[in-house]
Amino acid sequence: MKKIDAVIFDLDGVIVDTAVFHYQAWKRLAHELGFDLTPEQNEHLKGVSRIESLEIVLEIGRINHLTQKKKEEIATKKNDWYRENILKMTPDDILPGVSDFLGKLKKANYKIAIGSSSKNAGTILERIGYSSYFDAVVDGTKINYSKPDPEVFIKAANLLKANPKNCIVFEDAAAGIEAANNAGMKSIGVGSPDVLYKANIVIPDLRNLDISIFDNLIEH
Ligand code: BG6
Ligand code: MG
């Protein structure tokens, strides 16, 4: 008997490789401000909202004199650079293994949702042809607190009428794994075990993935 009610996917870095575009845009901004961003520092930007990411970037560059207006201005500039890339996306940008695995879930009648901190999620889903593919989409326009707060995943579970403890989250961000754990859900990290060590399971990507992976997460 199936004990999983729903499967919730982060978008950036799990369904599509937009985490790279975010990194490029933050790096460009950092360079304009006179410093650099390393891949390790970038891990802290994943999963958190645009404005919180900016605060982290400014802290890394030891920049503490900007007005709120200036911060909003440079966050918008970063977002404009980022959007130049996502507006060019097509269904070919869906990461390997993703559409096969989503197809398997649908065929087996699992409810699926997106749980993303991004305010650009709608644009991305439209570009890749997934606008009406998921049973629920909760994104940065619908939440008050970004990951590691569990709000985004709890909202998705509520929309799907699923019990959080019977939900599985796929995430590429450490903050996202923490959010899933804080929501009382099971978590599958997509990426490096060094970064995602708080996840129940870590996989490198969704290639050749089978639903039987859930067997390892169900409490018997
Ligand atoms: C998350 C990304 O999905 O969305 C973060 O992992 C990003 O890196 C956040 O900062 C907010 O995105 P956006 O598109 O609203 O700037
Ligand atoms: Mg992500």
Q: Where are the alpha helices (DSSP H) in the chain?
A: 18-33, 39-43, 50-60, 68-86, 98-107, 121-127, 151-159, 174-182
Query: What is the pLDDT confidence band of residue 219, given thresholds at 50, 70 and 90?
Result: low
Separation between Cα atoms, residue 194 and residue 144, nearest integer Å: 29
Q: Over 90: is that where the pLDDT of 162 sits?
A: yes
Classify domain 6-17+94-216 at the CATH topology level. Rossmann fold (3.40.50)
Q: Where are the domains of the chain?
A: 6-17+94-216, 19-86
Any idea how long the chain is? 220
Dump pLDDT digits (tens) for 167-208: 999 999 999 999 999 999 999 999 999 999 999 999 999 999
**Ligand nearest to the backbone CA of 169:** 2
- CATH pick for 19-86 out of 1.10.150.240, 1.10.40.30, 3.30.70.100, 3.30.2130.10: 1.10.150.240
The residues lining ligand 1, judged by C-beta closer than 6 Å to any ligand atom, are 12, 19, 22, 45-50, 53, 79, 116-120, 140, 173
CA-13 nearest atom, ligand 1? 6
Q: Write phi, then psi, for 6 (nearest 5 degrees).
A: -155, 155
139 is catalytic: no
Q: Over 80: is that where the pLDDT of 144 sits?
A: yes
Query: How far is CA 51 from each of CA 34, 76, 128, 144, rounded to the nearest angstrom?
Result: 19, 10, 26, 12
Q: Which two tokens stand for residue 204?
A: 């490198």
Dump pLDDT digits (tens) for 100-126: 999 999 999 999 999 999 999 999 999
CA-78 nearest atom, ligand 1? 16
Marked catalytic residue, from 5, 10, 80, 92: 10
Q: Using CA positions, which residue lies closest to atom 16 of ligand 1?
A: 50
Average predicted confidence (pLDDT) for the chain: 96
Q: DSSP secondary structure string, 45-85?
A: TTTS-HHHHHHHHHHHTT-----HHHHHHHHHHHHHHHHHH
CA-120 nearest atom, ligand 1? 14
Which residue, 44, 25, 37, is CA-closest to 175? Answer: 44
12 is catalytic: yes
Separation between Cα atoms, residue 220 and residue 217, nearest integer Å: 9
Q: Using CA positions, which residue lies closest to atom 12 of ligand 1?
A: 118
| Ligand 1 centroid, distance to 211 Cα (angstroms) | 28
pLDDT at 33: 96
Counting residues of the chain whose pLDDT is more than 70, the rounded percentage is 98
Q: Write phi, then psi, for 10 (nearest 5 degrees).
A: -70, 155
Q: Using CA positions, which residue lies closest to atom 8 of ligand 1?
A: 46
Find residue 115's DSSP bridge partners: 138
pLDDT at 93: 97
- State pTM to two decimals: 0.96
Residues 6+ apart with CB under 8 A from 87: 123, 127
